[in-house]
Structure 1
Amino acid sequence: MVIVASRIRLEDRECPLSTTVEHVGEWWTLLILHDAFDGYTRFDQFQENLGISSSMLTTRLKTLVTDGLLERRPYRTNPVRHEYVLTDLGRSLRPVIVALAAWGNSRLEPHERSMILVDAESGVEVEPVVVDAGTGRRLDDSRAYVFAAGPAAGDAMRGRYAHRRPLPVAPTEGA
């Protein structure tokens, strides 16, 4: 019997960061998603642009389809060929990819940046930031915004954040 160790610690199984990293935290996965955001859809396009082996690309694409981030669609019938198109769930990761690229660029001088984010109409470089949708305040101040146990938190998560103000528990149906 073969036992495969999980990459997520048992106590982190309910942590959204840990479970997200389990899906998209792998090097090639992020690069494939980046290419998909740039309009690549076909196996040969991904392979040529990334220089990834066929077996690795096949594995990563299957995982992205299984996880619901890409959809595999036929684009030719004889012989059958498929393309990989971002799903709504996959497209929802774009701000994450943009934020990662912006973080990488923030460590470089402007003349050292090989890729920048620009306004599609004006071509002017933009500086992406993560903000609270309710207030519009930037989330980069670690003293102003902290993680706390949420309504569905188990004992381990509640213990981790016991020193933080707990969130109210949502009423259950029929209560």
Structure 2
Amino acid sequence: MRWNELEKECCSIARITSIIGDRWTLLIVRECFLGVTRFDAFEERLGISKRILTERLQKLVENFILVKVPYQQHPLRLEYQLTSKGRELYPILRTMQHWGDKHLSGKAGRPSVVVHSCGRPSDPLVLCSECGEPLDGQHSHAFKGPGGQKNRHLPPLPAGISLKGTVADVKRGRRSAVDS
């Protein structure tokens, strides 16, 4: 499979990889979360060429991860801000950062510490939306979802399990995300 074919795959991981899966794009998104919004600041902080930066920013705008916002009218100058869709990438980047801190930091320890607004250092924790147990590859299994019928690698959803509602509905107490 070619890099430019990933967005057509019947797999959400392949699709997101087609948008943010290269090193420069992930680093641009990281910089956005660190407060960087202007082209020259991205260029300076990342040491990235103008051509590559322009291409990656354009792709992030086209995919509604970033939006261009004027910060000066005469002459017109634009900055890049995360959209709500872009801000939803924060837990993904934090989880990647935590994995890197744990497995790649070496003897000196983690290169940075994230402190939550509660005033305590915080690490990401991914839990089941139903039972609250940690998600891992040993106790979680993937099946075809409603949009995955063309996915030849996944088995069908077992009988007796139906998708009901969303995680937001679960948080609001409206219903269970999966009824069995």
After TM superposition, the score normalised by the length of structure 2 is 0.79
Paired letter, 2:158: R
1:66 and 2:62 correspond: yes
The whole-number CA distance in structure 1 between the counterparts of 2:108 and 2:116 is 19
The percentage of aligned residue pairs carrying the same residue is 30
Equivalent residue for 2:154?
161
- RMSD in angstroms over aligned alpha carbons? 2.3
- Number of residue pairs matched? 161
Q: Cα distance, 1:82 vs. partner? A: 0.4
Partner secondary structure for residue 112 of structure 1 = coil
The whole-number CA distance in structure 1 between the counterparts of 2:110 and 2:163 is 45
Q: After the TM superposition, which of the residue ranges 130-139 and 31-40 deviates more from structure 2? A: 130-139
Alignment of 1:91-102 (within 5 A): 91-102=87-98
The whole-number CA distance in structure 1 between the counterparts of 2:3 and 2:106 is 39
Q: Cα distance, 1:154 vs. partner? A: 2.1
Runs of 4+ residues deviating >3 angstroms: 5-10, 108-111, 166-170
Of the candidates 144, 147, 155, which is equivalent to residue 152 of structure 1?
147
Alignment of 1:81-100 (within 5 A): 81-100=77-96
Of the candidates 9, 18, 24, which is equivalent to residue 20 of structure 2?
24
Q: Cα distance, 1:152 vs. partner? A: 2.5
Alignment of 1:34-113 (within 5 A): 34-107=30-103, 108=105, 111-113=108-110
Contact map agreement 1:8 1:18 (CA 8 A) in 2:
no
Contact map agreement 2:102 2:110 (CA 8 A) in 1:
no
Structure 2 unmatched ranges of 5 or more: 165-180
